Structure 1
Amino acid sequence: MTSQNSAGRSTRTAAIIGAGQTGVTAALGLLDAGFDVTLYSDRDQRALRDDVPATGTALEFGETQQAEAALGLDSYTARAPRHTGLSVRIAGPEREELIAFDGHFDGYVGVAVDTRLKADERLTRFLERGGRFVVEQVSPAALDPIAAANDLTLVATGRGGLSELFPIDAERSVYDAPQRSLLTVTVTGIGHDDSVFAHRSRAGGGHSGFSIFADQGEGWWGPYLHKDAGPSWAFLGWARPGSEWERRFAAADSADSAHRIVQELYRDFIDWDLPEVLATQTIAEDPHSWLKGAVRPAVRSGAGHTAGGHVVGSLGDTSAAYDPIAGQGAQSGLIQAQRLVAAAAVHDGAFDEAWLGGQYAAFLAARGDAANKVTRLFLGDPELADIGNQLFAAAAVDSRVASALVGLLHRPQPLLGIDSLDAANEFITGVSGEDAAALLARFAPAGRFDRSAFSSTLASA
């Protein structure tokens, strides 16, 4: 099935395989840059919006929003509930309540937008502007004539299927298995004003909440824009292999069961946030408002070859699959798409392996390597554990360090230079203006986190 043929206004042609958020963004960007673009999907537009779950929460910060703006696209900062900070709580293996801090985003906000909504709106715009949309399953065999017929072919089909065309970069892919099992569910029932999660931050519902258990995993709540319900909240949980949380997550088989599992998890482990969590409700009109699974973090090559030897480029999750714990997947994919579009628009030669490889190397240097490292930091990677402990302890003492630490989710590049405890201390000193040793000497365990009084607030409202 083909929708709305292109007007044929360009002698340069491009094919994008995969109509998710990153693929359709690249397709629309190339179309606006003067290419004749064909976008391929195994589902039609309605099915892409309504018959599949969102691929994570797709939280984006300032650098990604700037990339979207450079393409002339809506970054949703005027439509989605905004994240203005991140509130963190860390508990030890015996559930000792150790670290509490609240980092404020400095000069930018975060927005988490349903990827189905964003892809749908951009696909509509792509068709209105003359793009060609083909609904068919593109197998490796089918990709060969597509790549032969187009000047530039990009694969944005995610982590499965066609990703095997792109060799794994063993040096950058340090894990041979998923580091977490994932569970997500989108809910309504609570707002975003300062009465929600007020025990965590004066910003209340303007900040997302992150809780870390050394032996179990992590749980995150954040403001979200759902395709049907509008402003809402998303939960995303990460369970360590072999943990009690992993066993619980595996039992989810619907939005309602996922929601029950999350509520029970907070009752048993994270009671400081329980009143808000108990007030939430699933979104009845969207049976796909939940998802479970696991991601093996892996970085692949920027260029691959079809069976006939035609070169194709990787894009988004096909290039690099990040564990979503640090929110780098959607951000990096969109930044990569914008960079590719900008480079292709001014390139007058062949889009060959050298060009694709050069563009990918530049992206890794500008964003990808740093995104990979900040993900490893938040996963508690053993190679970065001492550095992480130092930074998180300092954040509990000094609000400037807290803001700089959560700012690495927006711009992770500074983390590339932090490769030792001495470098971590230099970072802490540079941010706080105080000797790191003196600052860290003031650290003391939290003892007991503040508990929510949200139920009382509701009862007296």
Structure 2
Amino acid sequence: MTSQNPASRSTRSAAIVGAGQTGVTAALGLLDAGFEVTLYSDRDQPALRNDVPATGTALEFGVAQQAELALGLDTYTARAPRHTGLSVRIADPERNELIAFDGDFDGYVGVAVDTRLKADERLTAFRERGGRFVVEQVTPETLDGIAAAHDLTLVATGRGGLSDLFAVGTTRTVYDAPQRSLLTVTVTGLDHDPGVFAHRSPAGGGHSGFSIFADQGEGWWGPYLHKDAGPSWAFLGWARPGSDWEKRFGAADSAASAHRIVTELYRDYIDWDLPEVLATRVIEDDPHSWLKGAVRPVVREGVGRTAGGHPVASLGDTSVAYDPIAGQGAQSGLIQAQRLVAAAAVHDGAFDENWIAARYAEFLAARSDAAAKVTRLFLSDPEFADIGGQFFAAAAVEPRFASALVGLLHHPQPFLGVDSVEAAGAYIEKVTGVSAADVLGRFQPAGRFERSAFAPALTRA
């Protein structure tokens, strides 16, 4: 953990509203930078850990881990089962099995950590080192007093109408509704060795598995660190509006029912992975080990004003709500928090509207614009249909491009300049050293994906 400057020396104060992973990370960072910090939450610490579900799988790669390291924080890469690549399968509406590839993560690993665990441990460190933790529901009215009493105020929660203080950015917000319905459940019963999901990759349980159905949605399995069960696995599914998957996801009302729905989904649609799925078990001791819902991707302004005219900064999901399909939400929140802390630590003037707006513009340029665009690519946005077709076909025949494509989840910036089929072809050539026409000319439909022969589940079934 990072060292602490005694709070008594601080000449500046900061308030953070929201004690999730991003909010408590920013609070800890500002405390270490010499600020007097007050962190507000509508739940006490035990409730934050045990009475709510994790906010998604929070998969993080190298750039986000570097942000945590810059703050002196644990990245969990020594504690969580590591993701070393992503295995992808794509089928069309007629169930034709078209594309299969396995992309290795080049020079970095991924870890998916229960946000309740990470926030709880960082909150403990924050309190032990002199941070002030206040349990109360912050409303727009009470936020005005909080902002008046602090030099810098960050809003890292959309509850209580606080997100309405930040206008929706019309040029960056491209969707008027959620693009997917979501279902997630965390399970045990599988190891992370090469014998698990061996039909997908020589890395087996070191790679997460992503399956795409053009008319239904997407399903993902990946290594996970649960707050109590430890190394485990998480399922995350995205259902297209009006699909059979959406109806199935909507019926979930418990961890057990979510697990049953996922098992039936794989039996009916994704049988190549079914044996591993049959081996999984619900975490009985955690009734909140599942979650369903929908997220409208929204980009808000970085600065808002309270009723009394005090400027406040948005942070994390309050700034940008991503569809979780590309794993950009947790990563971007941590990167934004680290950038804000670093900038605040060396700033001598007021944290006024201009300062907040400038820092937010820098974050958009450095991460969020690219992250949002990559998310749209993995959502199969019609605007990127032809580009996506090239990219996924190229990945199926060229391992170097498969690694580059999954690497966009780690570092999305290279995709910012890809805005046409021609630019996509140029990127393929840049990565592979071979013309896009030559690469794509080698593509052949998969025909039939290899099926799992995972013995423990086959025996049990």
What is aligned with 2:115? 115
Work out whether 1:306 is the aligned partner of 2:310: no
Report how far residue 203 of structure 1 moved.
Answer: 0.1
- Asked if 1 retains the 8 angstrom alpha-carbon contact of 2:185 and 2:259, the reply is yes
Counterpart Cα distance in 2 of 1:368 and 1:18: 20
- Asked if 2 retains the 8 angstrom alpha-carbon contact of 1:154 and 1:312, the reply is yes
What is aligned with 1:242? 242
Counterpart Cα distance in 1 of 2:309 and 2:254: 43
What is aligned with 2:358? 358
Residues 149-196 of structure 1, C-alpha deviation per residue, up to 9 Å, x if partnerless?
Answer: 000000001477311110000110000000000000000001000000
Local SS of the residue matching 2:89: strand
Counterpart Cα distance in 1 of 2:114 and 2:8: 32
What is aligned with 1:276? 276
What is aligned with 1:340? 340
What is aligned with 1:426? 426
Counterpart Cα distance in 2 of 1:57 and 1:199: 24
TM-score, structure 2 normalization: 0.98
Report how far residue 435 of structure 1 moved.
Answer: 1.1
What is aligned with 2:219? 219
Local SS of the residue matching 1:138: coil
- Asked if 1 retains the 8 angstrom alpha-carbon contact of 2:194 and 2:206, the reply is yes
Report how far residue 9 of structure 1 moved.
Answer: 2.5
Counterpart Cα distance in 1 of 2:420 and 2:275: 40
- Asked if 2 retains the 8 angstrom alpha-carbon contact of 1:58 and 1:330, the reply is yes
Closer, same or farther: CA 241–159 of 1 in aligned 2, 3 Å: farther
What is aligned with 2:188? 188
Structure 1 outlier segments of 4+, above 3 Å: 456-460
TM-score, structure 1 normalization: 0.98
Q: Percent identity?
A: 81
- Asked if 2 retains the 8 angstrom alpha-carbon contact of 1:159 and 1:318, the reply is no
Counterpart Cα distance in 1 of 2:458 and 2:178: 40
Work out whether 1:167 is the aligned partner of 2:167: yes
- Asked if 2 retains the 8 angstrom alpha-carbon contact of 1:159 and 1:317, the reply is no
Output the amino acid matched with 1:96. N
Local SS of the residue matching 1:263: helix
Output the amino acid matched with 2:299. V
Work out whether 1:16 is the aligned partner of 2:19: no
Counterpart Cα distance in 2 of 1:379 and 1:271: 23
Counterpart Cα distance in 1 of 2:7 and 2:430: 55
Output the amino acid matched with 1:447. G
Counterpart Cα distance in 1 of 2:166 and 2:334: 19
What is aligned with 1:408? 408
What is aligned with 2:3? none
Output the amino acid matched with 1:297. P
Closer, same or farther: CA 258–415 of 1 in aligned 2, 3 Å: same
- Asked if 1 retains the 8 angstrom alpha-carbon contact of 2:137 and 2:160, the reply is no
- Asked if 2 retains the 8 angstrom alpha-carbon contact of 1:159 and 1:321, the reply is no
Local SS of the residue matching 1:16: strand
What is aligned with 2:373? 373
Counterpart Cα distance in 2 of 1:179 and 1:144: 34
For structure 1, the 5+ residue unaligned runs are 1-5
Local SS of the residue matching 2:192: coil
Counterpart Cα distance in 1 of 2:182 and 2:318: 19
Report how far residue 424 of structure 1 moved.
Answer: 0.5
What is aligned with 2:291? 291
Residues 73-109 of structure 1, C-alpha deviation per residue, up to 9 Å, x if partnerless?
Answer: 0000000000000000000011110000000000000
Local SS of the residue matching 2:428: helix
Counterpart Cα distance in 1 of 2:441 and 2:120: 52
Report how far residue 459 of structure 1 moved.
Answer: 4.4
